Amino acid sequence: MLDEPLRQSGGYIGQSVPRREDRNLLLGKGQFVADIQLPGMLHVAFARSPLAHATIGTVDVDSALAINGVHFAASGSDVCAELPPINGMQVVTPQGWRDRVDTDILIPDQPLVPEDRVRYVGEAYAMVAADSRYIAEDALEQIEVEFEPLPPLPDAESALKDDAVLVHEQLGRNVAALLHTRKGDGADAMESCPHRLSRRFVHHRYAAMPMETRGVVAEYDGRTDTLTVWSSTQVVHWVRREISTALEMPEERIRCVAPDVGGGFGGKGHVYPEDILVAWLAKKLRRPIKWVEDRHEHILNAAHSRDNIYDVEIGFDDRGKIHVVTSSFIVDSGAYTPVGAGIAGNSIAHMLGPYDIPHYETDCKVVLTNRTPNAPYRGAGRPEVGFAMERAVDIVANHLDLDPAVVRFRNMIPPEAMPYDVGLTYRDGVPMVYDSGDYPEALRRALDALGGLEVIRKRQKDAWANGKYLGLGLGCYVEGTGVGPFEGATIKIDSTGKIMVATGACPQGQGHETVFAQFAADMWHVPIEDVYVTVADTADITLGYGTIASRSTVTASGAIKIASDKIQEKALTIAANMLEVGEADLEMRDAGVGVVGIPDMHVTWREIACAAKPGWDNQRPIGVDAGLEATSYYEPPTVTWAYAANAALVWIDTDTGKLEIEKYVEVHDAGVLVNPGLADGQVKGGLVQGLGGALLEELAYDEQGQLLTGSFADYLMPTASDVPPIEVLHMETPSPLNVFGVKGLGEGGAIAPPVVIANAVCDALRPFKAELNSTPVRWQDIAAITENADRQQNMRADQEA
Amino acid sequence: MVTVNGEQISGSAEPRTLLTDFLRDELRLTGTHVGCEHGVCGACTVIIDGFATRSCLMFAVQADGSEIQTIEGLASAEGEMHPLQKLFAKHRALQCGFCTPGMLMTAIDLVQSSKKLSEEDIRIGMSAALCRCTGYEGIVNAVSEYAEQLQDEEASNVG
Amino acid sequence: MKPASFSYLLPKTVPEAVKMIAEHSGDARFIAGGQSLVPMMNFRLARPSVLIDLNRIPDLSYIKDRGDYIAVGAMTRERMIENSDIVRDMCPLVHDATLNIAHLPIRSRGTIGGSISNADPAAEYPATMLALDAFMVAKSERGEREIGAADFFDGVLSTSLEADEILTEVRIPKAPANSGSAFIEISRRQGDYALAGIAAQVTLDDDENIIGIQLAACGVGPGPVRLNQVEDGVRGTTLTAEILSNAKEAATAAVDPEGDVHATAAYRRKLTGVMTERALRKAVLRAVGKK
């Protein structure tokens, strides 16, 4: 009775239901943090370090305080005297992971405003609050500070030198984490390989860069001793937890809300010092406080991402079958590591991708430097390791004069091997088992969407013959999605019979309200209009985890299901009592419960909810508690495995090195698609971000640790005219790990483009025998390849003459 | 004195107050968003005297005497959405919605000031504003369909 | 990112404006379209104490046919220029260049006088005016003078305008009969400043010999760069593959750009050659097509 097929015909799951979020946003009636205005509100601004590394001497805020309209100013020592540092490890790793992966982790805590030392350009050293942001910025200019410059560590390699200055002296080293893992015979397997190749791959630094910067508004109510905090965050419950710790207030006295959030992509996926500082100041000054980051601050201070160097060795046979991969990689974590070794953990788990490779060994150093802290951004370790691995596969193919597509097919795990035990441990502590999918089929479909491999190769030969350059770029990946530890949902059926759903998920544009309503409407057999969804508000759900790591569709649906099951079991008992039949004769239908086969015998949720109420004349059977509500937590057994094959055709203009993407295809499988239209938008949006990282976006530093791309004039994100024709094809292999068969898909699109573009360019330029093993793929590097080759050819021709 | 969405409004601002902040903080028209404050992202785009303009690159005092249209003035007073707003929903041209007001104002000027727009023209025109979520496909499709609608209207008016 | 305080002055006429700048010279700045100045002010990299707003001087916004040249008022907005039939028909290179400037909403507000007096080395108008031998009209309380483009641009973000002078008008010679032009640039994205751009205009005789050539580059020097040596190599020839290739090489050698995070110096030099070749080819094709 409760076990009906969950994807009913005529149900909402699987339909591209229009978004309920759209109307307000289209009318300009969305409410973002910056839109919140409260009486008596003060505006905060932070003085931020112009130096990458320096000792802080005296900080004098008196002149700032003297400005008319300035109400508060504090140095780092003022702040540190009242507030502890933020927990350096906001994400805990489970014992199961630490048991199975060799780890040596020393995570530094992050002072909310440091008193002794600044560690990156943009780190705050003082703060002010004033009647307006204008006045607050005037005040910042009056703060006098003495810095004693320290040698800057502008990148990971300089931080690893023996004589390098320490970013955090108390750690005794510039390494926050050392990780090592091994499968099969590990590196020992290299000995017996007929072919071995080694390469270095570099994945540069870029960032989430949502259109809405971060922002926090806080208001303290002295009468009830409660704090309300609106933060542009992906994790309201984490923000509440850290504020509770810092201010020593019970979590239940703090309400944290993420109103409309203008994009996150991971960049808002952890707690920042400002979240706590703004809450603290609201309580301290008893006035509403607002801080809205400006774009320059955002680029300097919000988490960056990527920035890895991989040294890879790959051992293979004549047919291109890969026997062993080893890698040694470093992650430039910047000055702090808010999400610890999470990115590196992902990279380790994802290196083997869709391939059946018996031996693997990897070690990693997460390195502290004087760059902006590094935290997960859409893909989170997978684009980086994918770049290394998928470039390596192409290099193997070239070495053997085989087609890169053929080498991939020869190494892919066949569908009949599913579920496939990878032989590694995921960062949730569970042994990795790919749950479902057909990897070779995805690649076949991707190639077909470009005309098929034979046609592509013929077109390429024709192009070469005409002095033109056309290349095929491939990139395949698997992605652990829907990771735990849990998500929560509260379901209430109120006396109107409407279904109230609240979860701990915190959307930033994904359309959760719509998607969760689809789930609940099907579970409750009601029109979708009868479902009310609340997200991102700690007042509505006791515990939640948030929207990071491609997880909410999987984890929140599970929680909604468990809570609904719980209530429905009780509702059926009550309905049986009302209809005077046995529960076994009942089914859920038509916004209520009816007797199987008898259309007239039916009670609605509204009637059942009234019957379930406490008090006189209720219709509950004896022993049944009053009320129709439940809060449940879904703890997924482990991750579901989404995957994709990407392929692109790219033309090179050898005069300028400019490349033109003729078409980009991604064949993506995230299991059952709840709302195919929204799923498609997620993958395409991710793809364009990936293309931005591949070609345009860069957080570049100079040797002094100065960021060179601190505005949108220099940090170049793709515009409408930078986007090539894109086709996304969806496969839907259900996951066996949850009742809906769903997998996560928020991040996938962003994973492959950097390597697909690099592979395509190298493929087009095969006549020049060139390799591009670092990102971003720059026109000037491509132009240099063709120019040098031209020059060499001319020189050779001259010599021969 | 400015006319905002058809309504005459007078207010005062110190010279340095950006038009964006005046619209948002003084007039409480918070649909116009602040994305970069240096004229690149386009989130603050409003229509001033008929032309899409960055409100972060103007001081409020400079708008004196102008006619300004913001996102709040796009739908009818009864809440009936503008055709382009409907097309944005239809084509899934928004996700987080932060860039959306600027996108809409940019697109309206682009379409209304051009005779015929190819997809390429639309992509170049809409490159004036950044969207981080959608990858632009829905935006370009929505603007294309709006341009076609306007052309059909014109054709039928002429006919 | 909010600007520092300033006093705001709003002249209604040119004489009022020059009087104001004379009174406040040193710490006052004119604001035209503000599309470059306001970002600098928002970053507090520019902080004039007095801002003289030229946007309410109606006498500075016009496009006029004056026989040999067209006269464009300094406060004429780029949107007006791109939509002007006079400009498109008589100075097609200016029309072409305008379409390469940033984006529609920037051109709604940006002015020709603002762009020229800001003199960004990567901007389209300075190179275009340099190529076309345009004249800038400057006024001050001391009087009026006309400055040739070659004397006007004076290094990075610098012009020969005196501190008390205001640019009021740009005089752009009309394209000769049998001429063709092209503005071609390469930038990392649509609307970004050029990594290298070329403004080119050629005039042909009846046998398609190039009797007139005007070439200037943007984005590859401290200011716009007139490519005299390239012009010399092309003038009097017909455009053969060899001449084109020589022009490309000469353009590459003629500039001395600096590298930055977007492009190395060597790459910009290379692009200067490629853009020169493309602009020349297109300009000649257009000239031939007109005949």
3-state secondary structure A723-754: CCCEEEEEECCCCCCCCCCECCCCCHHHCCHH
Interchain contact A19–B (C-beta under 8 A)? yes
pLDDT classification of A249: cutoffs 50, 70, 90: very high
Residue A617 pLDDT: 87
Residue A799 pLDDT: 66
The ranges of chain B with pLDDT < 70 are 159
Dump pLDDT digits (tens) for C49-78: 999 999 999 999 999 999 999 999 999 999
**What's the mean pLDDT in C211-230?**
97
The DSSP H or E segment spanning A608 is helix A605-612
d(Cα B144, Cα B106) in Å, to the nearest integer? 13
Q: Which residue of C has its CA nearest to A787?
A: C270
Residue B157 pLDDT: 80
Report residue A628 as tokens: 């129709």
d(Cα B102, Cα B33) in Å, to the nearest integer? 8
Q: Which of C201, C4, B33 is nearest to A212 (CA)?
A: B33
Q: Hey, are the CB atoms on C109 and B51 less than 8 Å from each other?
A: yes
Burial class of residue A583 in the structure, from the number of CB atoms within 10 Å of its CB (0-12 exposed, 13-18 middle, 19+ buried)? middle
Q: Could you tell me if A38 and A114 are in contact, meaning their C-beta atoms sit under 8 angstroms apart?
A: no
Peptide bond preceding A383 in cis form (omega within 30 of 0):
no
Dump pLDDT digits (tens) for A106-154: 999 999 999 999 999 999 999 999 999 999 999 999 999 999 999 999 9
**What's the mean pLDDT in A499-523?**
97
d(Cα C107, Cα A255) in Å, to the nearest integer? 46
Interchain contact A9–C (C-beta under 8 A)? no
Interchain contact B9–A (C-beta under 8 A)? no
Residue A796 pLDDT: 66
pLDDT at residue A10 above 80? no
Pick the CATH number of A22-29+484-634 from 3.30.1280.10, 3.30.365.10, 3.90.870.40, 3.40.50.410: 3.30.365.10
Interchain contact B146–A (C-beta under 8 A)? no
- DSSP annotation of A252 reads G
Dump pLDDT digits (tens) for A333-349: 999 999 888 999 999 99
Q: Could you tell me if A378 and A342 are in contact, meaning their C-beta atoms sit under 8 angstroms apart?
A: no
d(Cα A741, Cα A442) in Å, to the nearest integer? 18
Give the dihedral of Cα atoms A580, A584, A585, A591; nearest 10 deg: 90
Residue A247 pLDDT: 98
Q: Which of A364, A473, A365, A435 is nearest to A643 (CA)?
A: A435
User: In angstroms, how far is CA A145 from the centroid of its own chain?
Assistant: 37
Give the dihedral of Cα atoms A559, A564, A565, A570; nearest 10 deg: 140
d(Cα A73, Cα B104) in Å, to the nearest integer? 40
Of C1, C4, C190, the CB nearest to A719: C190
d(Cα A681, Cα A18) in Å, to the nearest integer? 13
pLDDT at residue C155 above 50? yes
Of C10, C42, C108, the CB nearest to B37: C42
Pick the CATH number of C60-173 from 3.40.190.10, 3.30.465.10, 3.40.50.620, 3.40.50.300: 3.30.465.10
Q: Could you tell me if A679 and A720 are in contact, meaning their C-beta atoms sit under 8 angstroms apart?
A: no
Write out the E strands in A605-710: 629-634, 640-652, 659-669
Report residue C58 as tokens: 């109606």
How close A681 gets to chain B, by Cα (Å)?
6
CATH architecture of the domain with range A306-426+438-483+638-792: 2-Layer Sandwich (3.30)
Report residue C123 as tokens: 């901007």
**Cα radius of gyration rounded to whole Å, chain C:** 19
**CATH numeric code, C7-56:** 3.30.43.10
Dump pLDDT digits (tens) for A385-426: 999 999 999 999 999 999 999 999 999 999 999 999 999 999
Q: Hey, are the CB atoms on C5 and B16 less than 8 Å from each other?
A: yes
Dump pLDDT digits (tens) for A625-676: 999 999 999 999 999 999 999 999 999 999 999 999 999 999 999 999 999 9
pLDDT at residue A769 above 60? yes
- DSSP annotation of A412 reads B
Residue with tokens 């492959």: A752
**What's the mean pLDDT in C115-136?**
97
pLDDT at residue A89 above 90? no
- CATH 3.30.43.10 placement within chain C: 7-56
**What's the mean pLDDT in A309-324?**
98
Of A27, A712, A722, the CB nearest to B41: A712
Residue-wise burial string across B5-29, b where 16 or more C-beta atoms lie within 10 A, e elsewhere: beeeeeeebebbbbbbbbbbbebeb
Q: Which chains touch B (3 or more CB pairs under 8 A)?
A: A, C
Tell me what percent of the residues of chain A surpass a pLDDT of 70. 97
DSSP string, B60-98: GGGGTT-EEE-GGGTS-TT-PPPHHHHHHHHTT--SS-S
Q: Hey, are the CB atoms on B75 and A722 less than 8 Å from each other?
A: no
**Interface of chain C toward chain A, CB-CB under 8 angstroms:** 1-5, 39, 43-44, 186, 188-192, 261-264, 266-267, 270-271, 274
Interchain contact A698–C (C-beta under 8 A)? yes
Class of domain C179-290: alpha beta
Q: What is the mean pLDDT of chain B?
A: 96
Taking contacts as CB-CB distances below 8 angstroms, the residues of chain B near A677 are 92
pLDDT at residue A157 above 50? yes
The reply to whether ipTM tops 0.95 is yes
What's the N-to-C CA distance of chain C in angstroms? 54
Q: Hey, are the CB atoms on A720 and B127 less than 8 Å from each other?
A: yes
Residue A87 pLDDT: 82
Tell me whether strands A726-731 and A659-669 are parallel, antiparallel or unpaired.
parallel
Which domains does chain B carry?
A: 2-73 (3.10.20.30), 83-158 (1.10.150.120)
User: Is domain A210-301 classified as CATH 3.40.50.300?
Assistant: no
pLDDT at residue A562 above 80? yes
Residue A393 pLDDT: 98
Q: Hey, are the CB atoms on C8 and B124 less than 8 Å from each other?
A: no
Q: Which of A719, C105, A23 is nearest to B106 (CA)?
A: C105
d(Cα B83, Cα A69) in Å, to the nearest integer? 45
Alpha helix ranges (H) inside A450-551:
453-465, 512-524
pLDDT at residue C206 above 60? yes
pLDDT at residue A461 above 50? yes
Amino acid symbol at A428 = D
- CATH 3.30.390.50 placement within chain C: 179-290
Residue C290 pLDDT: 77
- Which residues is A499 bridged to in the sheet? A493, A531
Write out the E strands in A122-222: 124-130, 144-149, 175-183, 195-206, 215-221
Q: Hey, are the CB atoms on A656 and C189 less than 8 Å from each other?
A: no
Taking contacts as CB-CB distances below 8 angstroms, the residues of chain C near A133 are 2
Residue A1 pLDDT: 31
Taking contacts as CB-CB distances below 8 angstroms, the residues of chain C near B113 are 104
Of B70, B88, B132, the CB nearest to A263: B132
- CATH 3.30.465.10 placement within chain C: 60-173
CA distances for C29 relative to A732, B15, C18, angstroms: 62, 14, 11
Residue A9 pLDDT: 56
> Ramachandran region of residue A259, left (φ > 0), alpha (ψ -120 to 50) or beta?
beta
Q: Could you tell me if A556 and A740 are in contact, meaning their C-beta atoms sit under 8 angstroms apart?
A: no
- DSSP annotation of A184 reads T
How close A700 gets to chain B, by Cα (Å)?
19
**What's the mean pLDDT in A530-553?**
96
Q: Which of A557, A532, A540 is nearest to A236 (CA)?
A: A540
pLDDT classification of A2: cutoffs 50, 70, 90: very low
d(Cα A209, Cα B132) in Å, to the nearest integer? 8
Q: Which of A292, C5, C105, A28 is nearest to B27 (CA)?
A: A28
pLDDT classification of A3: cutoffs 50, 70, 90: very low
Residue A664 pLDDT: 98
* Residue boundaries of the structural domains of chain A: 22-29+484-634, 210-301, 306-426+438-483+638-792
pTM of the model: 0.97
